[in-house]
Structure 1
Amino acid sequence: MKTLFLAPTRNAVGLSSTALGLTRALERQGLKVAFLKPIAQTHEASTDDSVHFARTLAHLKTPDPISLSRAEEQLSHGAEEELMETVIALAREATGGGAATALADVLIVEGLALNERNVYAGALNASLARNLEASTVLVSSLSGVTAGGLADELEIAAQNYRRSDGGGLSGYVLNFAPPGLDFGTLMADLRTHSPLLASGELPLLGVVTESPALAAPRTLDVARWLGAEVINEGEAGLRRVTSTVVTARTVPRMAHLFQPGALVVTPGDREDVIMAAALSHLSGVPLAGLMFTSGSAPEDSIEKLCRASLTSSLPVMRVGTNSFGTASRLSRMDARVPHDDTDRMERMLDFIADRLDIVPLGARLRTPEVTGERRLPPSAFRYELIQRARAANKRIVLPEGDEPRTVRAAIRCAQKGIARPVLLATPERVRQVADGLGLTLPDGLEMIDPDTIRANYVAPMVELRKHKGLTAPQAEAQLEDTVVLGTMMLALDEVDGLVSGAVHTTANTVRPAMQLIKTAPGAALISSVFFMLMPEQVLVYGDAAINPNPNAEELADIAIQSADSAQAFGITPRIAMLSYSTGESGSGEDVEKVRVATSLIRQRRPDLMVDGPMQYDAASVLSVGRQKAPDSPVAGRATVFIFPDLNTGNTTYKAVQRAAGVIAVGPMLQGLRKPVNDLSRGALVDDIVYTIALTAIQAAQVAAQHADA
């Protein structure tokens, strides 16, 4: 399934009508289209305009958008990632499933229209497009702008939506083109001012001309806008206002203005105008209506004379403002189509769809991805992580059961159904910690006092370590450590995974696992990866936590384990074997180690895309990769980064994490028979929650492998 994000370049560009018009145009091509307005446009309690018409005219099951108040509150508190995860969930709801199970061919997403109040909307739209893995259609207007100004506008907007791999843009639409526009001259001028448009990277998808007929509101809408008293409703729900006649002159000098669609605005004492309007109506001219101003009404004698017209299909209304004030208010009338004016919106969508050239889109939307690759953005990664963990429903032991961050994380996991956490600590102590944090322990959160169960694991531990001569007293002493105790629970299949490290070192967490859990079949070593939640996509870094100086054989094993982990979590692995030189440009023992490891990977796993030695910039930046390794399938597009040693890996991940403000999920351990995962001692509550989710998913994968075996 493909996602198209419609983004405005400035205020009042006709964003909603274009989004719905594109939906209709794609449906005409036989595509199954879903529609989403992720965040409501206004603070109004009523249904968003585009959502309403998507449901009533396109009959789409469009979910309710996130309220603007809620979105603004989350943005103001730095919770944009939480907001994006909710948007991902709405996208899944709109399309009827996940990326692989979606019932739609394409999802149309309408961004926020820009106005003087929502100064954050431009950046938020770019973030929405990125996290929804969308390609952007820019929507602009030819109203009040020169060709040079429009070209600059499109160039600037495109920079916000273009991805680092050169993708991210699908085209642009121009609205409100004046009748008689010299299209050829316009395009020539745009290409002269814009290298982007001249290159064809951003194709024109349509030019929609102004249409007075489509802009015409019903007389009923005018009455609502002005708060008018309806004296005679007539055909107020059918007739449309295409012009306004404000009676400042004598009838002979304005009679030619009494045309179909004219709204006659007059004081009630202008008998000549009222009689002229009545005669026009009787002669068959379908005026939009007659509006009395200043709260006035015609004399009884005139009303009786014109009664046949004033009580027929001609709408007659009255307002308290004078003629000038009434005309002024009419000039400021809201251009939005009312929700009950489905006829106008139906015609508008057909009008726009007729003028969109979706050939540049059509072929792209129908063509399946050649590689099946997916750039997994961070919000989608977190959303899918939580959903898969919920489905796994695994029991995860937390040996640091009374540590405050761990308690918070356990409460959240239990409340959200992410896992079934088991806190190893006295229940009284856990309650004290929760009370101190102002939290309530949910029903069903499991707490186990280590002193009450320790004796159960002495004999099994002696059996597991008998080849090392472990005695019962020694086992009992080691089991005083809750990490060892939790590891024994995992070894005996009483829990499905273990997460520790908030107060323990990596060695404290990993050593018991190596002694009691052991490596998985076929695994030569234990290694680790971090999932780096970069702005555009999630990358995998390995090994940055376990192996200090792996040799070529070990480096190859780390790369293969890391690639498999990436694949398991929805990331297409493109492995960059990192070094201080690229290709054949460097020499030395360290470079040769990476070169040999790369060769070993190709021999053992010819299905994996791998290249090395490669510098970090050549692996991560497309332009640099094309220059330094033009024939590489990995350069500039790597998703799995394998560091030559722990010093390089740990330093790099922490530098990227801190300097770029990137969330690093992990380290996730690889190569164990059962999942044990370490935390950084500086881990945040969110880090612990996501690590618990990772562990639950790993446990489900282990269970599936055992079932297949």
Structure 2
Amino acid sequence: MTRSVYVTGIGRGDGRQVVELGVMELLTRRVDRVGVFRPLVHDGPDRLYELLRSRYRLTQPTDNAFGMTYEEAAALQAGRGEDELVSRLVEQFHAASEGYDAVLVLGTDYADTQLPAELGLNARLANEFGASVLPVVSGQGQDADSVASEVRNAHHAFASLGCDVVATVANRVRGGERAQAVRLLEDQLPEPVYVLPEQPALSAPTVAQVRDKLGADMLLGDPAALARDVRDFVFGGAHLPAFLPALTEGCMVITPGDRADLVVGALASHAAGSPAIAGVLLTLGELPGPETMALAARLAPGTPVLGVSGSSFPTAAELLALEGRLTAATPRKAEVALGLFEQHVDTGQLAERLAVVRGERVTPMMFEHQLVERARGQRRHIVLPEGTEERVLRAAEVVLRRNICDLTLLGEHTAVRRRAAELGVDLTLLGETELPSGTQASARIVDPQSSPLRERFAGTYAELRAHKGVTFELAHDVVADVSYFGTLMVREGLADGMVSGAAHSTAATVRPAFEVIRTSPDASIVSSVFFMCLADRVLVYGDCAVNPDPDAEQLADIAAQSATTAARFGVEPRIAMLSYSTGTSGSGTDVDKVREATELLRKSRPDLLVEGPIQYDAAVDPSVAAAKLPGSQVAGRATVLVFPDLNTGNNTYKAVQRSAGAVAVGPVLQGLRKPVNDLSRGALVSDIINTVAITAVQAQRGGDIV
């Protein structure tokens, strides 16, 4: 039976898109096929549905996701009554839900719907759909007593209409009122109540939304910077000395285009990083001279400068009513929303109340979600040496928003802050101080050149490499390199793991780890695996990135390490030692190496299920396995595939990645005493997030270097 949850409100302005997005995230973590149904929709594009469709790669046909327009519903209800309207929508819901394990139903929005008794209609639809109800109430502008009263009223309204209320959410509650509202509502209702604070970053429009609202021209700047949040508007009219103190973090400066002094002053302030502005909007159709515009472009490259023909006052009137929206074009806001939801909602409790049971299939998205959940469960501290790299900064923002782990970014303080400001990335960086303890992940910047740790690390490195003739003076220069500095942070227990390689070679990342962290006592070799996320399962490939031609003993060690890594990440290890021959059918040096490695592994790890030598098709295809190795516990069901050499492994993983559309997560290094992982220089932001989460999970095993 399809499990459905109906998210609805009791009026406008509740910001329930945050809750709808959060529930969709929860559902997709646990089941493979999740559908979306909105019974009633306005004409035009549905922004939230497009966001869900894009983010969760929905294959559901768009026309299958909607019932009818509000105009059609109002006409049908007026002409033939509510029963006919409900009957039609129930029929459409069942057609939409067919073939899905769970369905998220998006309730009406109370905005010019022309429907009487809208709350009652939502309650009746939920009951007819057989869906649990998750009411959302707005706490915007209310004190704690009013919020508590609204929550109780919403619960009783839906419960009295026969709804299965699984939880109630109060959203957009003022930060100062939230704690009191939580106390007032504790144990007051039979279901959980979650209280979400107002999050200014969600209500802030982006620069792109300002541009679209005003029909403004983009005069300067990088299109990527249009994603910056506009947290405030500062109107320029005063002289520069009085104007500069009025600038605030993330503000948009609105000034007549003939005020070249204010334009240059605002951009110079941004370039200095104090404060970082969202952009500049020039009014009256005026532009500074070409020399000023050229200077502006050099002062803050990438920062948007927009132009409109209207004057400042009517422009201000339009902008002050503008609020941010969650759309497919605002992925950063989606991360903010999910971070807010996951911080204040007990998602495990909510999933249990929804009776959403994890499916047996593991999709790429489910695997990625599980990584995040595992990392968040015991939060660790990861160092990122490439602190000014764009993809790293964007990934860091998501990691912090989703509370995956604490971070240290390496680099010169001003350079990191300036780069983050140019990208519109909000990391709440704290400078070279201790990370604060608390429930929310946080970050700091450390500059290896000026850090007091440099002296300590130089002494450590000189001692470790004395047999290679390394003096303290030489070590003092070496440890200023971000890769060495980050690796020494891990060795000294000042970070739990390191992720690098987006802008550095593999050698630059791995060599310091070999020198400083070294091989684990239970491993003879450092190797790697990729998690290959196929449509219906996750396979572990090793070694596809480090060892060119391992001998039999090394191959057995790689297999044992890969099995341990697989088990740590929830993949039951069944090991296939791959070759071009299966069983005893072939001979030769290459096959003999794999056969010997298999026997060594069986002797050293009798607890593991292993088969080899075996061909790839016999390892993963049950029908081939039945013909070639009948009765094998591994053949046809292998989850850990160990390649005989780097040439075979690297080419195979790339062929499967490109041809089968698999998501390849890795390489994940194994065999080190503490986790250090290398990124591809072509890594996407999502790849970096996944690798940080994997490194954090690896670090959860604990253990100090001896």
Q: TM-score, normalised by structure 1?
A: 0.51
| 1:42/1:68 contact within 8 Å kept | no
1:42 counterpart (38, 58, 66): 38
Helix, strand or coil at the partner of 1:451: coil
1:355-402 Cα deviation digits (max 9, x unpaired) = xxxxxxxxxxxxxxxxx9965332221111101111221111111111
Q: Deviation at 1:462?
A: 1.5
Q: Deviation at 1:464?
A: 2.3
For the pair 1:80 / 2:83, whether they are aligned, the reply is no
Q: 2:405 and 2:375 mapped to 1: Cα distance?
A: 7
| Cα distance change of structure 1 residues 393 and 229 upon mapping to structure 2, 3 Å threshold | closer
Partner residue in 2 for 1:418: 404
Task: Write the letter of the residue equivalent to 1:640.
Answer: V
Structure with max Cα Rg: 1
Task: Write the letter of the residue equivalent to 1:636.
Answer: G
Q: 1:556 and 1:439 mapped to 2: Cα distance?
A: 45
Task: Write the letter of the residue equivalent to 2:411.
Answer: A
| Cα distance change of structure 1 residues 455 and 43 upon mapping to structure 2, 3 Å threshold | farther
Helix, strand or coil at the partner of 1:385: helix
Segment of structure 1 superposing worse, 373-382 or 574-583: 373-382
| Cα distance change of structure 1 residues 607 and 344 upon mapping to structure 2, 3 Å threshold | closer
Q: Deviation at 1:339?
A: 5.3
Q: 1:484 and 1:524 mapped to 2: Cα distance?
A: 23
1:105-134 Cα deviation digits (max 9, x unpaired) = xxxxxxx8x8x923999xxxxxxxxxxxxx
Q: 1:580 and 1:74 mapped to 2: Cα distance?
A: 44
| Cα distance change of structure 1 residues 120 and 566 upon mapping to structure 2, 3 Å threshold | farther
Helix, strand or coil at the partner of 1:486: helix
| 1:223/1:229 contact within 8 Å kept | no
Partner residue in 2 for 1:645: 645
Q: Which runs of 5+ in 1 are unaligned?
A: 8-33, 47-66, 85-111, 122-220, 231-235, 241-336, 347-371
Deviation >6 Å, runs of 4+: 34-37, 221-224, 341-346
Match runs of 1:234-253 below 5 Å:
none
For the pair 1:405 / 2:371, whether they are aligned, the reply is no
1:559-602 Cα deviation digits (max 9, x unpaired) = 00000100010001111111111111211000010011111111
Q: Deviation at 1:344?
A: 9.1
Q: Deviation at 1:618?
A: 1.4
Helix, strand or coil at the partner of 2:529: strand
Match runs of 1:247-646 below 5 Å:
340=124, 375-443=361-429, 444-453=442-451, 454-646=454-646
Segment of structure 1 superposing worse, 454-463 or 494-503: 454-463
| 1:431/1:441 contact within 8 Å kept | no
Q: 2:33 and 2:579 mapped to 1: Cα distance?
A: 45
Q: 2:614 and 2:418 mapped to 1: Cα distance?
A: 52
Partner residue in 2 for 1:275: none
| Cα distance change of structure 1 residues 226 and 485 upon mapping to structure 2, 3 Å threshold | closer
| Cα distance change of structure 1 residues 481 and 41 upon mapping to structure 2, 3 Å threshold | same
| Cα distance change of structure 1 residues 618 and 427 upon mapping to structure 2, 3 Å threshold | same
| 1:374/1:571 contact within 8 Å kept | no
| Cα distance change of structure 1 residues 345 and 623 upon mapping to structure 2, 3 Å threshold | closer
| 1:422/1:445 contact within 8 Å kept | yes
1:250-287 Cα deviation digits (max 9, x unpaired) = xxxxxxxxxxxxxxxxxxxxxxxxxxxxxxxxxxxxxx
| 2:36/2:65 contact within 8 Å kept | no
Task: Write the letter of the residue equivalent to 1:697.
Answer: V
| Cα distance change of structure 1 residues 345 and 664 upon mapping to structure 2, 3 Å threshold | closer
| Cα distance change of structure 1 residues 519 and 374 upon mapping to structure 2, 3 Å threshold | farther
Task: Write the letter of the residue equivalent to 1:118.
Answer: N
1:456-488 Cα deviation digits (max 9, x unpaired) = 311121122234332112212222321011111
Q: 2:661 and 2:81 mapped to 1: Cα distance?
A: 59
For the pair 1:117 / 2:70, whether they are aligned, the reply is no
| 1:41/1:68 contact within 8 Å kept | no
Task: Write the letter of the residue equivalent to 2:56.
Answer: E
Q: 1:525 and 1:651 mapped to 2: Cα distance?
A: 22
RMSD of aligned alpha carbons: 3.8
| Cα distance change of structure 1 residues 383 and 342 upon mapping to structure 2, 3 Å threshold | closer
Q: 1:685 and 1:223 mapped to 2: Cα distance?
A: 47
Helix, strand or coil at the partner of 2:664: strand
| Cα distance change of structure 1 residues 626 and 342 upon mapping to structure 2, 3 Å threshold | closer
| Cα distance change of structure 1 residues 474 and 345 upon mapping to structure 2, 3 Å threshold | closer
| Cα distance change of structure 1 residues 487 and 36 upon mapping to structure 2, 3 Å threshold | closer
Partner residue in 1 for 2:48: 70
Q: TM-score, normalised by structure 2?
A: 0.51
| Cα distance change of structure 1 residues 37 and 222 upon mapping to structure 2, 3 Å threshold | farther
Segment of structure 1 superposing worse, 655-664 or 404-413: 655-664
Q: Deviation at 1:551?
A: 0.5
| 2:397/2:427 contact within 8 Å kept | yes
| 2:502/2:682 contact within 8 Å kept | yes
Partner residue in 2 for 1:656: 656
| 1:406/1:688 contact within 8 Å kept | yes
Q: 1:338 and 1:680 mapped to 2: Cα distance?
A: 49
| Cα distance change of structure 1 residues 342 and 427 upon mapping to structure 2, 3 Å threshold | closer
Q: 2:66 and 2:660 mapped to 1: Cα distance?
A: 21
| 2:37/2:66 contact within 8 Å kept | no
1:47-102 Cα deviation digits (max 9, x unpaired) = xxxxxxxxxxxxxxxxxxxx986344332x4x335x79xxxxxxxxxxxxxxxxxx
| Cα distance change of structure 1 residues 558 and 68 upon mapping to structure 2, 3 Å threshold | farther
Match runs of 1:152-163 below 5 Å:
none
Q: Deviation at 1:442?
A: 2.8
Q: Deviation at 1:225?
A: 4.0
Task: Write the letter of the residue equivalent to 2:679.
Answer: L
Helix, strand or coil at the partner of 1:452: coil
Q: Deviation at 1:604?
A: 1.3
| 2:32/2:361 contact within 8 Å kept | no
Q: 1:702 and 1:481 mapped to 2: Cα distance?
A: 26
| 1:529/1:562 contact within 8 Å kept | yes
How many equivalent residue pairs?
A: 398
Q: Deviation at 1:518?
A: 1.3
Q: Deviation at 1:228?
A: 7.0
1:493-520 Cα deviation digits (max 9, x unpaired) = 1111011111222222111111111111
| Cα distance change of structure 1 residues 344 and 591 upon mapping to structure 2, 3 Å threshold | closer
Partner residue in 2 for 1:158: none
Q: Which runs of 5+ in 2 are unaligned?
A: 5-29, 68-72, 88-120, 131-357, 430-441
| Cα distance change of structure 1 residues 428 and 37 upon mapping to structure 2, 3 Å threshold | same
Partner residue in 1 for 2:184: none
| 1:499/1:695 contact within 8 Å kept | yes
Helix, strand or coil at the partner of 2:450: helix
Q: Deviation at 1:5?
A: 5.5
1:180-228 Cα deviation digits (max 9, x unpaired) = xxxxxxxxxxxxxxxxxxxxxxxxxxxxxxxxxxxxxxxxx99984547
Partner residue in 2 for 1:304: none
| Cα distance change of structure 1 residues 529 and 227 upon mapping to structure 2, 3 Å threshold | same
| 1:413/1:419 contact within 8 Å kept | yes
Helix, strand or coil at the partner of 1:494: coil
Q: Deviation at 1:698?
A: 0.7
Partner residue in 1 for 2:293: none
| 1:411/1:442 contact within 8 Å kept | no
Q: 1:566 and 1:435 mapped to 2: Cα distance?
A: 39
| 1:43/1:69 contact within 8 Å kept | no
Q: 1:618 and 1:35 mapped to 2: Cα distance?
A: 29
